[in-house]
Amino acid sequence: MIAIIDYDAGNLKSVEKALQFLGQECVITRDFHEIKKADKVILPGVGSFGDAMSQLRKFELDKVIHEVAAEQKPFLGICLGLQLLFEGSEESDGVEGLHLLDGEILRIPEKEGLKIPNIGWNSLDLQNNGRLFQNLEGSPFVYFVHSYYLKAREEAIVKATIDYSTHIHASVEKDNIFACQFHPEKSGTVGLQILSNFAKL
């Protein structure tokens, strides 16, 4: 069973549909008991960093996320869900993130000819043998929608990058914690392979 955390700020249904397509049992929930008994947990997210952290704290989901992470249960953050796992974001000064991983979330720099937010398909530069990217070769294309990006503190946890105005850490993995800045649930067969790899952990 995979629990998809519901905090009124996520692209929940598209994640659920992708997992169901893969034959995975999943539930959209904010119930502590359901989240804790799940085999794996996904934190999706769209919207602003500050609003999302406010919602997580309102429902006290920040506490259960830390408990699940401490139990070494596979945990996947998607898009804003990746950003929330870090210390904080330039988008919301003074708002503390979940800080399960070390790094900062920065605004994508303005550059002539490039639109912000970065919306569309980018090819990933895979590195450091990420478990989410098994059975994918070359530079797989995935779908992004974001104005802020991750700069992780530890290079070793970075499993995929892109270059869009700057060097962006697009996916990370450390122990049981995984995260993608892109949307695997909107990335066609490549995204389904990534979600399948997570489900099989």
Distance CA 99, CA 64 (A): 14
Output Rg (C-alpha) for the chain, integer angstroms: 15
Q: Enumerate residues 6+ apart whose C-beta is below 8 A from 69.
A: 75, 100, 176, 177
Q: Which of 16, 26, 146, 183 is catalytic?
A: 183
Q: Which helix (H) or strand (E) holds 18?
A: helix 12-21
Structure tokens at 96: 């503390």
The verdict on whether 173 is a catalytic residue reads no
**What value, to the nearest 5°, has the Cα angle with vertex 98 and ends 93 and 104?**
50
The verdict on whether 26 is a catalytic residue reads no
The verdict on whether 79 is a catalytic residue reads yes
76 contacts 41 by C-beta, under 8 angstroms: yes
Q: Which of 16, 91, 173, 185 is catalytic?
A: 185
Q: Which of 26, 79, 146, 169 is catalytic?
A: 79
User: In which residue are the tokens 């912000």 written?
Assistant: 116
Say whether 119 sits in a helix, a strand or coil: strand
> Could you tell me which residues are beta bridge partners of residue 43?
77
Residues identified as active-site: 79, 183, 185
